[in-house]
Structure 1
Amino acid sequence: MNRYFTFLLAFLLSSAAFAQNGYRIGSKVENFTLKNAQNQSVELNSFKDAPVLVVVFTSVNCPYAKLYDGRIQSLSKAYAGKGVRFVYVNTNIGLEEGGEAAQAQPDLPTSNSFPYLIDEGQQLSKKFGATKAPEVFVLQNAQDGFYLRYKGAIDDNPQAEAYVKDRYLATALDAVLAGKSVSSAERRATGCLIKRF
């Protein structure tokens, strides 16, 4: 009986540790540097003029990411006047032909009005704890760096924008811009699973 209890306790602790990978709400986000489509280095600190930064983990090969692209572009335009910036981070989700090689020069959308960065080796998605594409992370800029305020889904209906009832990302942005805490700071994202390599 004691052996069974010990095994169960160890399993629960390891499961909890696995579930808490990545930054937690309220955590300070470390500066990072990724390459953009032009092979130029872009770091988190280069967005220090923005009061809020939305990091969108995505994939050019994910159908869910394609469904959400227009919505993300619309949100970017709607909140640009309030200083909110968006950045796409393309991470290898396991659908790409040739793995890392395909990630080096992806076929990026040309309509994007914000940076599109490449997460080589999935280093940044691991650090953030991103598990799906698309998945968003709202970072609030403070004097000493960026802090995570929301992570997860963009809204409650990935397939039909017309039937969206809860706009999680917009609600989170409104709260952060108003200096309030986000009431539901974590929402499970729906999208393509990011397979770890």
Structure 2
Amino acid sequence: MKFFSAVFVFSLLSLSVLAQGGYQLGQKVNNFTLKDAAGRAVSLQDFAGTKTVVLVFTNNLCPYSKLYENRLLSLNNTYQNRGVRFVFINPAIGTEDGETVAEMAQKVNDRNYTFPYLADEGQKISQQFGATKTPEVFVLHGTGKDFILKYKGAIDDNPQLESGVKDNYLRNAIEAVLNDRNVQSFDKRATGCLIKKY
């Protein structure tokens, strides 16, 4: 009886993982290409040779994205000279209450982004990664020509107040990958705006 109970529980857990979709931790990430706010094609393989790539699914209309923007820009400034590349990806392009590429370009200019801000038209890449919220981050470890998923989920444990943060999940994951250590908190559920599928 215990055996069947264990099998049943395992089956439920497996189904819940499959239902989440997207890459699982430790998996190789396939190359993809999206256009940036200026219409230029940017591919993941453009960053081959980079030790760490941080993909941030975000959009300008989400209040949580606005709360986290300065924190993300600060992390980018801290790590850009240490082999880390940030890439923002917007899954709300073309949705009924979403944004336009022109609005993305305005944001890039207003905030002087030094990294690509890509339009995920059709939401193929957000679905490929299993992103469900904005903002939600995915930390990739570059191994030469391939990228392996090492962390996905929340940026930290306090979306409302930066001064109240006790656990910096993203910063800790970046440090672990840069220093060839195992990521300790490797899958923290993101808090943010639900990505509306269309």
Q: State the TM-score, normalizing by the size of structure 2.
A: 0.87
1:96–1:17 distance in 2 versus 1, CA, 3 Å: same
Q: Contact 1:136 / 1:151 at 8 angstroms: preserved in 2?
A: yes
Distance in 2 (alpha carbons) for counterparts of 1:93 and 1:61 = 11
Letter in 1 for 2:48: K
The answer to whether the Cα contact below 8 Å between 2:58 and 2:135 also exists between their aligned partners in 1 is yes
Partner deviation per Cα, 1:109-154 (whole Å, 9 max, x = no partner): 2312211000001110000000000000000101241110000000
Distance in 1, matches of 2:166 and 2:123, equals 32
More helix by share: 2
8 Å CA contact 1:91–1:118 kept in 2: the answer is yes
Q: Give the ranges of 4+ consecutive aligned residues of structure 1 lying more than 6 Å apart after TM superposition.
A: none
Task: Note if contact 2:92-2:195 (Cα within 8 Å) is conserved in structure 1.
Answer: yes
Alignment of 1:119-134 (within 5 A): 119-134=120-135
Q: Is residue 59–residue 91 contact of structure 2 (8 Å, CA) maintained in 1?
A: yes
Residues 9-88 of structure 1 correspond to what in structure 2 (within 5 A)? 12=12, 14-19=15-20, 21-88=21-88
Cα RMSD between the aligned structures? 2.2
Over the matched positions of the two proteins, sequence identity in percent amounts to 50
Tell me what 1:174 maps to.
175
- 1:105 corresponds in structure 2 to 102
Distance 1:72 1:48 in 2: 22
Aligned with 1:60: secondary structure? coil
Aligned residues: 186
Unaligned 5+ residue runs, structure 2? 1-7
Deviations 1:41-84 (A, max 9, x none): 11001111321000000011101001100000000011112110
The structural deviation recorded for 1:15 is: 3.9
Q: Could you tell me the TM-score, scaled by structure 1's length?
A: 0.87
State the distance in 2 between where 1:63 and 1:95 align: 17
Q: Which amino acid aligns with 1:140?
A: H
